Structure 1
Amino acid sequence: MKEQRLCPMNIGKLEIPAIQTTLPQSVINQVPNVAYTVPDLDASVRVYINSTDTGAPIACMEASLSNSKSVYQQAVGWVIALVIGLGLASSGIASILGYSHAALHVAAKSLALFGFVQSQAILGMTSVHMPPIVESWTQNFQWSMGIMHLGFIQKIANWYLRATGGTSSTLLSDLENTSVNVLKRKRSLDFGAGALMKRESGEGAAPDGSKTIYGIVRVGFKASIERTDIFMTGFIFIMVFIGLTMLIVGLVRLVSGLLAKSGKTDSTRMDSNTWAVTMKGILLRLILMCYPAVCVLCLWEFASHDSAAEVILAVVMLLSTTAILVMAAVRIIRKARRSVEIYKSPAFMLQNDTMFLNKWGFLYAHHRSPAYYFVTVMVVYIFAKGIFVALCQPSSSVQIAALFVIEVLMLVAVCVIRPWMDKKTNIMNISVTSINFLNTLLLLIFNFRERDMATSILGVILFVYNAILTLILLIVILVASIMALVSKNPDNKYQVMKDDGSSIMSRTHMTELDALGAAARGSPDQNQKQNPFAHNEIPPNHADSLQPSDRTSPSHMTGANHSPSSPLDPSVPLFPSSDTRSTSPYESGDHTLSPSEYSQPGVSPVNRGYNVSPIRTPSPHAYRAANNPSPWQRGAGYEH
């Protein structure tokens, strides 16, 4: 090598410039071809220094080997963030235009991708030693947890830390004097059995003064963020994200108000009360999206204790967001149970209450009606992962074992319950959950297995199948977003939910005035002949046999399989629906009944404005309404 600084070697800082040396062909032939193509090589070079006199090795140097290729590319994170933003924006636009089913499906796909991105980011925050390619891949998604390096954000975070009595870390500023090593292997191999020490705050100090980092500190170090600034960086990003989103919604409200005053849009479409409730719903949705980052960062701040003020911020933020989500889950469960008690279906009250749907629907709009409680499962799942990722940083074995059990339980739950609204959405979310389970399984192997060729190969496999699923989700969301924006009627591309909530979805209404007009014109339905019982009349004395309790009971009015039609579009409550059929059937005034309301046992097909009520007055018509379809309901599937 002919490097004079190595002989003799002096005490102190050793500055060695870049050395270029030509290796013999025999050495080059021993290097496998994959070393030139595979990014983030999990390889090292060991150099032995032998004595000139005796030939015995007297020193040994080891360094990581790199081919300057990595899967960590900032463009990857930006592309994924833009696609998710496009999906949510197109969902909001479709909802404003009245295409509720398209808005619902596009938003569900976008949130599935965002949840998958956050799961991979949390995977990289574990303190498990993993191959370099896995570390680099998970680093692409740390933006979803608020871990992004921006100069002015770091200045604000560092200023707040010092102003509140904290001491800033100097890990990045002392790189010239301190050797920082990302965790490479089990600590028993690093310093020997006699040099074991407790790991604190994501750093371990070796006897020679070098530092070994892992977990959340490793993520911050790779993002060029000091350990003491990680929490405040995430906190600021979450606040900025929520603030900008609410500002955009406020601008949309302002523009829509100006257009309504100018007469270019319907001034009655979105009143002030509707907008207030809708903005609350959007705020709650943003809280749910940021909840994984809140759990991990706030709980980790409890352990790192950067300053007393930051700990207070973490306590307030964690308790407030958790309390809001728990309160929302409790309200949904109580509402659904009351609906089941009265109408034998949870979908009725969850979908017919306009204000409740716009405010709390973000937690159940994507789920089937019988799975209304699944929001509780999601909140518990996120909080449990946050506890073990944040508080078990010193013990990687406990951490990854707990995460493995959590993912197993979640996979079983989603496969058995299948809570999402249709088959495609269930397949997408079950695939995401399955990949999360495989990821924790491989990390479990990485944690309990020594570094060898097998772990390196498993790391490449983990990167490949995660990249494939991410690419598929990106394509699906792009196609769905474009179709929602350019199609004339994107709702036609999605089928209505086939659970007991299908009858309360937005459908083409056949008004009673149309039916009466057709009867007056003598225009029979083409499909009337299909009903052999169309002209069967029940003698009047049979109606008297009905008990009053039967005529007035909720079960008589609404069956388990026939829920009244909802006046709402069950879309994501990003914006209120532009559908003018948004009047609850319980509100006063005239309204149009849906086909499913016509078919409800014991409910008169005549508007409440008429003085006819088969529910209250025993009559032959009451009995017929309870047991047979109305004369103008034959042939359209109402009698099934």
Structure 2
Amino acid sequence: MKIDPKTADLVPGIAYTFPDIDAKVRVYINATDGPMAGRSVACLEATISNGQTVDLIGVKWASAIVAGLALVSSAFLSGLGHSNAASHVAATALALTSYFQSQAIVGLVGIPLPPVVQSWTQDFQWSLGIVNVGFLQNIFTWYQRSTGGTAARIIDTLAIVSVQVQKRSEPLIAPGMGLFKRAEAMMPRSLASHASSLAKRSNVRTDYGTYIVYGIQRVAFRAGIETTNLFLTGIVSFYVVMLFATILVALFKGTCELAAKARWIKGDTFLEFRNGWLTVLKGILFRITLIGYAPVTILSLWEFTQRDSAAEVVLAVFFLIYVNFGLLWASYKLIRIARRSVALHKNPAYILFSDPQTLNKWGFLYIQFRASAYYFIVPVLGYTVLKAFFIAFAQNAGTVQAIALLLIEAGALIAAAVLRPWMDKKINSFNIAICAVNFINAIFLLIFTRVFDQPDIVTGVVGVVLWILNAATTLILLLVLIISTAIVFFTDNPDGRYKFMADDRTSFMKSQSQLGAAGELDALGMTARGEKPGYGSGLDDNESLKPPSFNQAPRSRPQSTRRAVPASSSSTSTVQHDRARYSVDQRSSFSPADGEIPRTTSPPIQPVSRAQNTSPWQRGAGYEHA
């Protein structure tokens, strides 16, 4: 068909280059003869595309690789003993991952979104576990059918069924329902039953003979995933990550032990990890659970509305209880430990950061916050649950979703700006900026619902603004994370690059590799008592909550240990003085107020009690007891 050059000149040049343009073409067919000559007898309307899009595979891989490498880098730095630098890198990486998930959640709302917003949010669906792997999709379809469900076939039947991605207001969908029912009656029985089941059970609406997907199903369709497979896709993705994390940690443990025996590395390299790798593994799995909390909760709740099969509903109940019970239990343990630390030491950071088992297992909940704001993980979990409820259960009520998300994001921004709970000024600014962008996105979503009855051009412009704002924010945050992590690895003293936190956590987190000869003597003493070096507290999760007893009779060291540390003549009088004090203390209850033992050039040997604190993490902070 030839187009008049004058008509072609009316099309602006930006239409040929701008990605994901929100445009449509309307063609009128006029009669050339007969009684209808010169009048329009038919009209054809379709969306157009110039082939440019922001839904790019490169963006997906780049964002995923940067976030993953940052998390691995923080674990590596922690293993090397640079706890201060590791905590900063981990806090930044977790904040960036949560921002990726927030952008992906924007794409899950049941609100008509401009094409550029749909494409941009699709770039981050990997953060919700929505990843299309061919053989896994076949397994999910088989599982659903074998458990009594009816699998959707939208992707498989695109040759005979037209699917339209919703990007206009919802009222346009309703007029087509009557035509759909008429068309269904004229279809072959097998195709009609398939179309009817999709329309009713999967909430896929029809408009003039086409399926219209929106909300969560829109994301699944654009990812090439059948809507009935989306729940299992998201759930399995995160637990595959857990499996690979477990395998990698076990392999790293074995590699370190082999390298130490072969003397390829020093004997104390990654000593804390090697001695407590199971506790470290538990902490890593809990951290992955925290990262996957939002998608698992959203998809599990959404499955209750879909009921793809009875077995999948059971799985949704199980995983919903699992992630919520696990994180709530961890939060309860955290609050209990912190309160015990405050009661005994007037400082929540004392036990939270001095006990390596507590830090490695529960640290993912509080290490990104300042010690006095350890409780802030509970509001974070509540914020996630509220968003999940409205995303999952309000797919058919876009306006309700928009208003609810606006209020939730406003509350999150106010809490972050007023409380500023994160560990330092930079991390606070990083997270407050993310909360501000999320709040602006919520305002844009309200505009997309057309409650303000704005022209279509305004909606399209707002969509472009949302894309530019989030693209710029993502680029800045990625650069900040990449540069800060790279500088840490090329710095002789990574911990010195960051200011020490005001909660004095670093004085409690000293690793044995940083203690030199003192660490070797402590390791010798702990070996004599049957304790593991690097985990000198020797307390499990329950014992770490018990207050120390000051009334137990002191237990002397074995004779071999006493001979291992020679006493000089200059310390003889001090030792005699301590023995005299010791005999008095045996006849009376031990009191920590007796004063500190005088320090000499050769430290006196004193009986070691179970009540006494011999862990190297708990020295030098002004909390020593006699």
Taking structure 1 as the reference length, the TM-score comes to 0.76
The equivalent of 2:57 in structure 1 is: 74
* Separation of aligned partners in 2, 1:37 and 1:508: 59
* Separation of aligned partners in 1, 2:514 and 2:53: 60
Letter paired with 1:216: I
Alignment of 1:460 with 2:451, yes or no, is no
The equivalent of 2:13 in structure 1 is: 33
CA contact (8 A) 2:508 2:621 kept: no
CA contact (8 A) 1:182 1:212 kept: yes
The equivalent of 1:173 in structure 2 is: 156
SS in structure 2 opposite 1:175?
coil
Instruction: Map 1:208-357; keep pairs closer than 5 Å.
Output: 208-263=208-263, 264-266=265-267, 269-270=271-272, 274-357=276-359
CA contact (8 A) 1:91 1:484 kept: no
Letter paired with 2:374: Y
The equivalent of 1:52 in structure 2 is: 32
Alignment of 1:493 with 2:497, yes or no, is yes
The equivalent of 2:111 in structure 1 is: 128
Mean CA deviation greater in 368-377 or 229-238: 229-238
Q: By how many angstroms is 1:465 displaced?
A: 1.1
SS in structure 2 opposite 1:373?
helix
Q: Which structure dedicates a bigger proportion of its chain to helix?
A: 2
* Separation of aligned partners in 1, 2:593 and 2:78: 44
The C-alpha deviation readout for 1:305-356, integer Å capped at 9, x for no partner, is: 1011111111111101110000111111122122222322211221222211
SS in structure 2 opposite 1:188?
helix
CA contact (8 A) 1:199 1:394 kept: no
Instruction: Map 1:368-517; keep pairs closer than 5 Å.
Output: 368-447=370-449, 448=451, 449=453, 452-499=456-503, 501=505, 504=508, 506=510
* Separation of aligned partners in 1, 2:210 and 2:167: 13
* Separation of aligned partners in 2, 1:348 and 1:293: 34
Q: Return 5+ residue gaps in structure 1 as ranges.
A: 1-20, 515-566, 568-578, 591-605, 626-635
The equivalent of 2:184 in structure 1 is: none
SS in structure 2 opposite 1:345?
coil
Letter paired with 1:479: I
Picking from 45, 48, 54, the partner of 1:62 is: 45
Letter paired with 1:182: V
CA contact (8 A) 1:303 1:391 kept: yes
1 or 2 for the larger relative contact order (CA 8 Å, sep ≥6)? 1
Letter paired with 2:129: G
Q: Return 5+ residue gaps in structure 2 as ranges.
A: 181-198, 524-531, 539-547, 550-554, 558-573, 600-619
CA contact (8 A) 2:409 2:442 kept: yes
The C-alpha deviation readout for 1:91-146, integer Å capped at 9, x for no partner, is: 12211111111111111111111111111111101111011000000000111111
Q: By how many angstroms is 1:230 displaced?
A: 0.7
* Separation of aligned partners in 1, 2:369 and 2:236: 32
Q: By how many angstroms is 1:302 displaced?
A: 1.0
Residues 335 and 58 (structure 1 numbering): CA distance in 2 closer, same or farther, change over 3 Å?
same
Report sequence identity in percent. Answer: 40
Q: By how many angstroms is 1:294 displaced?
A: 0.3
SS in structure 2 opposite 1:62?
strand
Letter paired with 1:265: K
Taking structure 2 as the reference length, the TM-score comes to 0.78
The equivalent of 2:3 in structure 1 is: 23
CA contact (8 A) 2:148 2:309 kept: yes
* Separation of aligned partners in 1, 2:322 and 2:621: 48
Q: By how many angstroms is 1:192 displaced?
A: 3.7
Q: By how many angstroms is 1:232 displaced?
A: 1.3
Q: By how many angstroms is 1:411 displaced?
A: 0.8
Q: By how many angstroms is 1:420 displaced?
A: 0.7
* Separation of aligned partners in 2, 1:254 and 1:502: 29
CA contact (8 A) 2:176 2:206 kept: no
CA contact (8 A) 1:305 1:311 kept: yes
Q: By how many angstroms is 1:182 displaced?
A: 1.1
CA contact (8 A) 1:102 1:484 kept: yes
SS in structure 1 opposite 2:276?
helix
Residues 589 and 274 (structure 1 numbering): CA distance in 2 closer, same or farther, change over 3 Å?
farther
Q: By how many angstroms is 1:359 displaced?
A: 0.8
Q: By how many angstroms is 1:584 displaced?
A: 4.6
Q: By how many angstroms is 1:505 displaced?
A: 5.2
The equivalent of 1:553 in structure 2 is: none
Letter paired with 2:30: N
CA contact (8 A) 1:165 1:307 kept: yes
Q: By how many angstroms is 1:510 displaced?
A: 12
Residues 618 and 424 (structure 1 numbering): CA distance in 2 closer, same or farther, change over 3 Å?
closer
Q: By how many angstroms is 1:450 displaced?
A: 5.0
Q: By how many angstroms is 1:501 displaced?
A: 4.3
* Separation of aligned partners in 2, 1:134 and 1:492: 42
* Separation of aligned partners in 2, 1:368 and 1:451: 47
Q: By how many angstroms is 1:196 displaced?
A: 11
Q: How many residues align?
A: 527
Q: By how many angstroms is 1:580 displaced?
A: 7.7
CA contact (8 A) 2:29 2:40 kept: yes
Letter paired with 2:235: F
* Separation of aligned partners in 2, 1:610 and 1:196: 97
Q: By how many angstroms is 1:184 displaced?
A: 2.7
Q: By how many angstroms is 1:458 displaced?
A: 0.9
Alignment of 1:87 with 2:91, yes or no, is no
Q: By how many angstroms is 1:226 displaced?
A: 0.7
Q: By how many angstroms is 1:499 displaced?
A: 3.6
Letter paired with 1:134: V
* Separation of aligned partners in 2, 1:24 and 1:354: 76
